[in-house]
């Protein structure tokens, strides 16, 4: 056993304590997707769209957008840890291949978006931030379509 190998310990904890069933993971992905949709609505409001639909001031929409984004990232961490440590990159069929590729891109797109936000003084083109935000939403939607939606429509689900 290599030094620092925690996969069997993690598998035991996942099976016995944390994620006794894949349903919990599906629910975490759904929580992330809800936060993603909330962040998208707030971003639309901040860019001057949906003013009648999302009745928030710019400052409040920005605050809600930031916190819903943080919640979305927080919901991805347990799923990310499980996918990377237990499953890895696989391509047995198209759904899993698309999911693996999108999963590989999600944190890169997130990092690019956060770097653009952090370095606003560098005068990026005005379309860069909306394109990165839309790309992040598209990647997260792809992950949801190839994981939670597939799971809840294919696997018999019930508590």
Angstrom CA distances, 53 to 31, 44, 48, 71, 90, stand at 22, 10, 11, 22, 41
Q: What is the mean pLDDT of residues 66-93?
A: 80
Q: What is the mean pLDDT of residues 4-25?
A: 54
Please report whether residue 2 resides in a domain.
no
- Environment class of 140 (CB within 10 Å of its CB; exposed 0-12, middle 13-18, buried 19+): buried
Q: What is the mean pLDDT of residues 33-41?
A: 65
Residue 145 sits in which domain range? 7-152
> Mean pLDDT over all residues of the chain?
75
Tell me which of 155 and 32 has the higher pLDDT: 155
pLDDT at 99 over 70: yes
pLDDT for res 44: 67
Please report whether residue 65 resides in a domain.
yes
pLDDT for res 90: 82
∠64-67-68 over CA atoms, to 5°? 80
∠88-2-104 over CA atoms, to 5°? 20
pLDDT at 56 over 50: yes
pLDDT at 109 over 80: yes
Q: Name the range with the highest mean pLDDT among 11-20, 49-58, 86-95, 148-157.
A: 86-95
Give percent above pLDDT 90 in the chain: 10
pTM here is: 0.64
Please report whether residue 1 resides in a domain.
no
- How many structural domains comprise the chain? 1
Residue 88 backbone phi and psi in degrees, to 5: 75, -170
How many C-beta neighbours within 10 Å does residue 129 have? 16
Please report whether residue 159 resides in a domain.
no
């Amino acid at each position: 056993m290599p030094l620092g190998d925690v996969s069997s310990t993690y598998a035991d904890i996942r099976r016995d304590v944390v994620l006794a069933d894949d349903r919990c993971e599906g629910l975490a992905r759904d929580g992330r997707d809800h936060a993603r949709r909330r962040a998208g609505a707030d971003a639309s409001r901040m860019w001057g769209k949906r003013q009648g639909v999302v009745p928030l001031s710019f400052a409040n929409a920005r605050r809600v957008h930031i916190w819903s984004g943080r919640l979305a990232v927080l919901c991805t961490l347990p799923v990310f840890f499980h996918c990377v440590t237990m499953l890895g990159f696989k391509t047995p069929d198209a759904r899993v291949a698309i999911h693996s590729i999108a999963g590989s891109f999600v944190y890169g797109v997130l990092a690019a978006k956060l770097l653009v936000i952090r370095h606003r003084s560098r005068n990026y083109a005005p379309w860069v931030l909306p394109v990165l935000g839309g790309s992040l939403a598209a990647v997260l939607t792809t992950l949801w379509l190839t994981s939670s939606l597939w799971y809840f429509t294919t696997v018999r689900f019930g508590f």
